[in-house]
Structures are given as structure tokens and as C-alpha cells.
Copies of this chain bind each other. A is one copy, B any other.
Amino acid sequence: MARPKNAFYAQSGGVTAVINASACGVIETARKHKTKIGKVYAGRNGIIGALTEDLIDTSKESAAAIRALRHTPAGAFGSCRYKLKGLEENRAQYERLIEVFKAHNIGYFFYNGGGDSQDTAYKVSQIGERLGYPVICVGVPKTVDNDLPITDCSPGFGSVAKYVAVSIREAAFDVASMAKTSTKIFVMEVMGRHAGWIAAAAGLAAEKAGDAPHVILFPEREFDEEAFLAKVGKTVKAQGYCAIVVSEGVRDKAGRFLAESGTKDAFGHAQLGGVAPVIAQLIKDKLGYKYHWAVADYLQRAARHIASKTDVEQAYALGKKAVELALKGRNAVMPVIVRQSNKPYKWTVGEADLADVANVEKKMPADYITADGFGITKKCRTYLEPLIQGEDYPPYKNGLPQYVTLKNAAVKKKLGGTFKV
């Protein structure tokens, strides 16, 4: 009987609080099928690890270490921002992949990432047919931006959503306390250059009239300074303070990012800061209110300490399902979340063709934003609410979360030379 084929797994694009939970799902499930899948080799820094034959032998990791991936944020094997070109444009890349796969008996390819990464996965899925090397390629979805199509949501998003909703609720309690004699405005900047999914999620904190956040600025809506200032002024009069969430991707009427419109450093370089200070300063200049602002940046997508349990479970389930699909011989597919019901929230794992996933961006529906452009609708809330349900706390020691750092032992190289990426 032939040796079972090994699997290649890699993480790609911006990492999340739960991408390692998907890795855990992939590796734990593969380990349960040792007659069919040999070793799982992880690519060090995504597809670059495959191209440079820089493979990590995950079989060297203990069961406990792999289990700990479930509660460890970020990419345990390193990620990359590197997009494969088309087969016609760079045939050498694909021939190199095949060379590495052959050398290491790799027959399964799992690629964990967002839109660009699923494009890479899709391209790799074609090398069987087009270059005659049989590899079963399955994508594993991941993105804090929640912009992958077909899947109801994307792992990583639910945890950022929970973080931003919790954070704006807490900061708003703070500013409400201080508003009498001090800060009246709080601006929190969140990720989302093209889509307002994360900004919208902050809106979950506002459960009843008057609750923060009072204003959300979406990249989907052109920034209307006059309407915005009127809304802020009205809110301060009614509530005594105003808590604002702004997406990094908000643009002015000319289509420029607001983040780029305001600041220059001492040398005249543009864009030192984010959009939060620009918005805060605008309010100060026009309305005179004292402000504070925060830019959460990586803190939001790395915040495993406040991850959504739903998100962690889905991330794991999708990793597990990816392996199950591969074992069924399904090539060029990606497992997806299928929503069965809202209340109670029920979901199952379905399957999409990578051809339908690659390079398609899921936009936020127009009717998820209120008519005034500054809030989320009930429909949006109904969609988002289940995604932040449940807490899944990591273990703590000495007051700090215990995240695993793997050994990441290199697989001995079998090929001569190097490959330039």
C-alpha cells in the first residue's frame, strides 16, 4: 500500500484572533485520519513556505500544543501578504510548487485566508488539471473584514465584532462619567478600509435609545461634515456626551480617505495619524468640545482574551470540515457557514466552489445602515447579534493569557537551490 499523502496547510493575509482555531481543526482532524493523511506540513509564512521549501513539521508538536492553538491568537506558522500570479504569467511559481509537493509527497493543500488567499487557493487547485500534478485543494475561510462571499460570516470577524462592541460600551461609560467638567467626545477608530462590517458591529453596544455609540461613520457613506456635526451637537445636548465609531475607510466627497486629509508631520509627510484624531479635531474646531480618541488597530483583531465563542467554534469547525472535504476527494472547494435560523441561532457547515469565492467581495447591504447614515438597522442587528455570542476565555497564568508558541521545527529540505519570491 502506498504511503498516505502528506498535507500542506498555511495561513495567509492579516491574521485574526481565531485563525489558529482553524489550524487546530485542520491538524486535529488530520491526525485522526493517519491512514489517509500522513503528516501536516505547515508553510512558514503562508504560500512563501511552499515556494521556498520552508516547511514546518507539525507532527513534532504535542497534542497539548495543537490543542492550545484553539485559544491562541494570530498565525502560529507566520502569514504573508503574497498573491500568486496567474499560471500564464508565472508558470515557474506553479512548477516550483509541484516540485516541492512532489519532494514532500504532498497531496492535500489547505489555505487559510480571505479573498486574495482564496484566489491563490483556487489557482493551486487547478494545477492537477492543467499541469498534471494531482493535489486536492481546499480553502479555509478567514477574515476580520467579513467580506468573503457565500459564507454567512467569516471566522475572525465575530471576535473583532465582540471586541469593538465591548470596547465602545466601556469607553462610553467612561466619557459619560467625565462629561460634566471634562471630555464630552470619544472617537474610536476601527478597521475596515472598504466595508463597514466592523464599524457596524460596534453598533451592537447600543441596545436602547441613547446608548453608545451614538454615531457610526461607515466607508459606505461619503462623509457629510455638516450632517455629522449636527448629529454630534444634538447628541451632546441630549446625552451630555457623544461616543463615535469611525471606520478607517471613511472618505470625503472627493473620495479621499479622511485619515489622509488632515495630518502632516514636521517634515511635511502626510498621514501620520488615523482618522480618529481628524474627526476629533474637527469636532473641537467646530463645536468646541473636549475630546479623547482611540485607535485600536491590531489590538482589535488580536484580542483573543475577549473572543466570541461562536467565532471560535466556527473557526474550528471550518478547519475540521476542510479536512473532511479533502478526504472525500473534493477539490477547489471551501467550507462555509450556513445560517439556519436567527433565534435561536443555528448554523451548519456547507460547501462553496473556490471559483465562486475567489476575488468576490461581499458588501454590506445598503439596508443595514440607517437612513441618516449614522447607525445600524434592526436587520443589521439581527444578522450581527449571533456572531458575538458567548465567551471563550483562554487560560491564565500569573495574570496573563497563556498563548502557545510552537516549536515550528523545519522539515529537512530535499531540493537544492533557492527560489526567489
Contact = CB atoms under 8 A, between A and B. Distances in A.
Contacts of A308: 399
A370 interface: no
Contacts of A276: 295
Contacts of A78: 176-177, 179-180
B180 A45 contact: yes
Contacts of A295: 276, 293-295
A272 interface: yes
Contacts of A305: 166, 170, 306
Contacts of A73: 170, 173-174
A53 to B, nearest CB: 15
Of A177, A265, A273, A388, which is in contact with the most chain B CB atoms at under 10 Å from its CB? Answer: A177
B304 A170 contact: yes
A393 interface: yes
Nearest to A399: B388
B278 A272 contact: yes
B15 A178 contact: yes
A82 B181 CA distance: 8
A385 B401 contact: no
A259 to B, nearest CB: 11
A14 B178 contact: yes
A380 to B, nearest CB: 15
Contacts of A11: 177
Contacts of A72: 173
A35 to B, nearest CB: 32
A170 B263 CA distance: 29
A320 interface: no
Of A174, A389, A390, which is in contact with the most chain B CB atoms at under 10 Å from its CB? Answer: A174
Interface in A265-313: 265-267, 269, 272-274, 276-278, 280-281, 285, 292-299, 301-306, 308
Copies of this protein in the complex: 2
Contact of A401 (B166, B174, B188): B166
Contacts of A390: 399
A313 B358 CA distance: 52
A74 B76 CA distance: 36
A228 interface: no
Interface string A59-97: 000000000000011111011111000000000000000
A204 B399 contact: yes
Contact of A169 (B14, B179, B401): B401
Contacts of A2: none
B75 A177 contact: yes
Contact of A181 (B80, B265, B281, B292): B80
A340 interface: no
A400 B401 CA distance: 20
5 contacts: A15-B177, A170-B401, A173-B302, A262-B265, A262-B266
Interface of A: 11, 14-15, 17, 45-46, 48, 72-76, 78-82, 162, 165-167, 169-171, 173-182, 186, 188, 204-205, 207, 261-267, 269, 272-274, 276-278, 280-281, 285, 292-299, 301-306, 308, 385, 388-391, 393, 396, 398-401, 403
